[in-house]
Structure 1
């Protein structure tokens, strides 16, 4: 289970990874479905929260000449994201795009509790689907 947690955590950060394959592998080994779901969801959510924290840290760099976003653009982005963008975190499980969404959530200072709940919901749903697919498509292939 520790390996699943670590793979899921790393997969959600800017590091590459394939937590779905690892999850299906452990499912094939007969691990408890509920525990697999919880460990993968927790690890992947924590990995995304690392990205949110990195975005929050990067915010203090705003205003420097080399920072890629101007202060007015950042303020506009913050207002728009607060209204509409927070629900994009339900898609934080998407490859590549999900990492960017979580960093932007931190950069634009989405409240940490909201970010956590939205990321958790999206990732939990994704892993539930992966486990359902494993049960219905891989069941006969596991040894």
Structure 2
């Protein structure tokens, strides 16, 4: 794996449909059915300690979460180590867990914040691991 990078993220306002016990395609399939795909920024947010996964989307200016049947939340900002993955979608999905594991071996993880999967495109993901300040 190439050397990871560190960045400071601002808080990210998101909408989500519901919580899941583990990551999976079902979460995004259900969310995309509500908001569509075009022009959207999707995030997978995983709180490992709570065993909670959310498929999230950044709201557009005129989105009404209530009328869409969505809840809102804010992904915590702060210091994150990150890796950018590129390739075919299915191969990238298979790399998510091992990439987070490798990042966790390099850095002191901040358990108060969730890990973040940013789906930049279907062939490019950015994985963010919260690290201690």
For the pair shown, the structure with the greater C-alpha radius of gyration is: 1
Structure 1 or 2: more strand by fraction: 2
The question of a shared fold, defined as TM-score above 0.5 by the shorter chain, is answered with no
- Higher helix proportion: 1
* TM-score bracket for this pair, using the shorter chain length: 0.3 to 0.5
TM-score in terms of structure 2 length: 0.33
